[in-house]
Amino acid sequence: MAEGFAHKILGSNWKIASAGIESHGLNPLAVKVMAEKGIDISHNQSKLIDPTYLASSDLVITLCGDARDRCPLTPASVKKLHWPLPDPAQATGNSEEILMVFRQVRDEIEAKIKTLV
């Protein structure tokens, strides 16, 4: 979701890559809630962090505590932000409650990316 918003909001002046410490595939609920915002992420792919790419970055943003705690070390020259968002894939409840968590996280990500502009 973050990659989708970053491309839309930040535009081509930013080089954007989304990756994690594990590859889980694309969650269909993430695709669904992003489509509600008019952003198609259905062709995005879950990617693993590349330490070389990470070291050449200007800014790294982690989105949940697990990513913050397990993300490879970055050089001091790389600015690092942490946005403590819940992982919507870990949400529990009925289908509507889980979808609501995805929407809440989606909206928080959108708001935070807008602050980067």
Q: Which domains does the chain have, with CATH numbers?
A: 2-116 (3.40.50.2300)
pLDDT band at 66 (very low <50, low <70, confident <90, very high): low
Q: Write down the pLDDT at residue 67.
A: 60
35-46 pLDDT, tens digit per residue, is: 999 999 999 887
DSSP per-residue letters across 59-91: EEEE-SHHHHHHSPP--TTSEEEE-----GGG-
> Among the listed ranges 51-55, 97-101, 105-109, which one has the minimum average pLDDT value?
51-55
pTM of the predicted protein model: 0.87
